[in-house]
Every structure is written in structure tokens, then in C-alpha cells.
Structure 1
Amino acid sequence: MNIIKKTTRFILKFVLGFVAFALLYLFSALILSVWSVDKEPGTPNDVTIYILTNGAHTDIVVPVKTNIIDWGKEMSYQNTIARDTTGKYIAFGWGDKGFYLNTPTWADLKFGTAFRAAFALSTSAIHATYHPDMQTNNNCRKIMISNDQYKRVVAYIQSSFKLDESGNVINIKTNANYNNNDAFYEAKRKYNLFYTCNTWANNALKAGGQKACVWTPFDRGIFYHYR
């Protein structure tokens, strides 16, 4: 009987602890998402970038070619299925590699994949997608930034890639493409509950001196400030 009581108490404490942690996590995410970092004032509107969400994950979308960088040379069009060189914009998303490559839809999500992602037990990847044009709507917001700010966004994105010995990005060879104009690349850091794909995108906005959340694990936190 003592063993049963001890086991019951342990299970009860574990469940209560998990619920308390989940509530604290969600409350912190709410407060720190609403609490904003202000945009740098008095800067010119030199470059158009976008934030894009699929309802859960935020991408940072930038022009393929400017006088600052030509992403087409760093992220070869040849790495995509279509090899279409007419894309004017490229969307960058950072996230858990296992989730990216093994979960094409939410119906394909497995407990093991989610568990490894949540607790930093997997590696990460960058998903790069070429777009012919961008249309603003509730899921896509336009942001105007200066050349200097864009240089910082570029540096932030570049710093997220793992590089080979020659200093080149590392294309992940896979059949898990989401469309004909995307590719995956090896990335630094590990996804976890406190550093998610949306945290990465939010930090990109901070790097570029744009309005952002103090911290957010969710896309809604970012888009709240761009309603």
C-alpha cells in the first residue's frame, strides 16, 4: 500500500508540476510577446522586407538581389527542384531539422519529433524559399528598413548557417521539399521551447532595429505588433 501511495503522490506531483510549468510558460509568452521592443526612429526606407506566417511559423522575406547582397549566389537556385532563377524574394525560416524534414503536415507530427524539438535533442535547419512576388495580407506584412538595418539583418541570417570548410552554406539533400522553389540548409543552434522558429524570426527583426517582441515562441506574438 505504501508503494501505491508513494507512486500516486509522485504521479500527482508530476502532473501538477507539468501543468504549473505549462501555465507559467504560456503566461510568460503572452506578457513578453505583448511587451515590445521599439523600432529605431528616423531611419530611411531603403529596403522592403516582409514577415510571412503559415499560421504557426514565421519567415523573414528579403529581396534576392540588392547592392548589399545577392542571395542567389549564396543559395543556389540549382538546389531547388524548379531551378527557376526568376524569384525576386527569398524567405528564410529557421527551425528543428527533424520537424522540417519529417513533418510535411501537422497530421504527420510524431511524438518523438515533437519531444526532441522541444528539449533541444535534435539539430536545426534553415528553410529557404524563392518567391516571384509578395502580396501583403493578414499573413504577410511589409516592413521598410534602411540599408544599414538591412546589413544587420543579412549578417544575422548569415550567422545562422553552418558552413563547410570552404565557408559555403551546406545544402541538405532531401525529397522533403515543400514546393518546387525551396531548399534546406544546415543551421546553427538547437530548437527548444525557449528558442523556437518564431524566436529566431523575432530576433531578426531586433537585429534590424524593427519593432519586435521582448520574447516570443509564437508567430502571433510577432504579428500582434504589425496588425
Structure 2
Amino acid sequence: MAAKTKPALILAGRTLAVLLLALGLFVLAGWIGSSVPRNGDWTEPESGIEIMAATNGVHTELVLPLVTPQKDWRREFPASDLEHQDRPYTHISVSWGQRDVFLNTPTWADLKPITVWHAITGSEALMHVSHYVRPAPGENFRPITLRADEYIRLVEAIEAQSLPAEERAKYPGYYSQDVFYETGGSYHVGNTCNQWTGDMLAAAGVKIGLWTPFSGGVMKWVERP
């Protein structure tokens, strides 16, 4: 019995070692990739349209003014889609992620191996939109000032990732002021929620890392208030 068990233990040990090595290399590659700048000559203007890069430590989102001369987000993301529709919302946050993680993983304790596998290999993506009333800058809500043309490019990049209201399904959010929308996009290990945030900022012309699979790879480019 012991003779049969020993090869199995060796195989399990080697498999675990390979998985840990792969994870370590992925983390290292993500940090290196996020340190290579896109739009390296960008400088933040002294005045303009203020947005925010926000994080919960794992997942990032972009916080945008609800209405500006350049864009009225109430058309794409109406408060009528929310449970609480009548609050004086001033901002929205927009983020992107894996469907099962968004809908079926309210806490990390609910994360299942099959969800992780789908996130690695490729699966449907959803857009998460939250509504805020005068969100305050802080460690996890860091302001970025954009020029008008840069904000327009950011808007266009987000719109390109959205489906028309009549073509998309929507799902209840975690709270009374957020909602999920279908995007038609695909999430995988090379195109994570944080990579999406980085790509949107890069489309606007903001200086950001080349590959930002982790939250820290995005937030390290944004000054603390």
C-alpha cells in the first residue's frame, strides 16, 4: 500500500510545485507588464474633467461624472434600472469582469474552482455600473483630471464595450444602486477586469501600464489625493 501511495504523493507534490511556479511567474509578469508605460509623455492638466480610478483592493473601476457637456450617462445607464431610482446621483462607476464572479461570487468564500477555470480559459463578461452621490476622494478613490478631448476618447472606448439597451440583458447588482449589463465581450486571464480599466485609461491617453492584470498595476499609476 505504501509503495503505491508514494508515487501518487510525488506526482501531487510536483503538480502543486508546477502550479505554484506558474502562479508566481504570472504575478511577476503582471507586475513587470504593468510597469511598462503606455502614453509615457502624458501629463495631467491642472483643470478639466475629474474622474476617479477606484479599487476594493482586487477589482478596479472608473468613476465618472453622471452628466458633463461631453456626455450624459443617464441615457446608457438610467437610474430606472436600479432598485433605488430617486436618489440625487452625481456619478457612476463602470467596471468589467467575469460573469460568474460578478453574479455568483458575492464573497471570496463563494469562489468555486470551476469559476476560476472559466476565468482563466475564457468566459462571458459583464459590465458593472454603480451610481454614487458625490463620492469623496481617498486612498481607494483617486482623482484623475482629463482634458475634454481625452474624456471624449474615454467615453467612446467605454461605449464601444457596451451593448445597446435594447440588445442587452441586465441583472440585479449587489446593492440598491448598482446593476450588471451584458457586453458581448469575453473575459480571460489575459484580459482581466483590471486590464479593462487600464485599456480604457490608455484609450483616453492617460499614462498607464501596458499589461495590468492586477489592481495594484493600475493604481500605482494614479497619485493619492
- The answer to whether TM tops 0.5 is yes
State the match for 2:171 in structure 1.
173
Are 1:25 and 2:23 matched, yes or no? no
Letter in 1 for 2:101: F
- Residue pair 1:52, 1:58 contacting (<8 A) in 2 also: yes
State the match for 2:120 in structure 1.
118
* Counterpart-to-counterpart distance in 2, 1:138 and 1:43: 21
Letter in 2 for 1:173: Y
State the match for 2:134 in structure 1.
133
* Root-mean-square deviation (Å): 2.5
State the match for 2:93 in structure 1.
91
Shift of the alpha carbon at 1:52?
0.7
Shift of the alpha carbon at 1:40?
2.4
Letter in 1 for 2:213: P
* Counterpart-to-counterpart distance in 2, 1:42 and 1:131: 24
Letter in 1 for 2:208: A
Q: What SS class does the counterpart of residue 173 from structure 1 fall into?
A: strand
State the match for 1:82 in structure 2.
84
Letter in 2 for 1:31: I
Unaligned runs of 5+ in 1: none
* Counterpart-to-counterpart distance in 2, 1:142 and 1:85: 23
Letter in 2 for 1:107: A
Are 1:71 and 2:73 matched, yes or no? yes
* Counterpart-to-counterpart distance in 1, 2:140 and 2:22: 30
- 1:7-44 CA distance string (max 9 Å, x none): 78866664444333222211111112223232524857
Q: Report the TM-score, using the length of structure 1 for normalisation.
A: 0.87
Are 1:210 and 2:212 matched, yes or no? no
Q: Report the TM-score, using the length of structure 2 for normalisation.
A: 0.87
State the match for 1:196 in structure 2.
192
State the match for 1:160 in structure 2.
161
How high is the sequence identity, in percent, across the aligned residues? Answer: 28
Letter in 2 for 1:27: L
Q: What SS class does the counterpart of residue 31 from structure 2 fall into?
A: helix
* Counterpart-to-counterpart distance in 1, 2:135 and 2:176: 17
Q: What SS class does the counterpart of residue 186 from structure 2 fall into?
A: coil
The aligned length equals: 221
Shift of the alpha carbon at 1:4?
9.2
State the match for 1:224 in structure 2.
220
State the match for 1:47 in structure 2.
49
- Residue pair 2:44, 2:144 contacting (<8 A) in 1 also: no
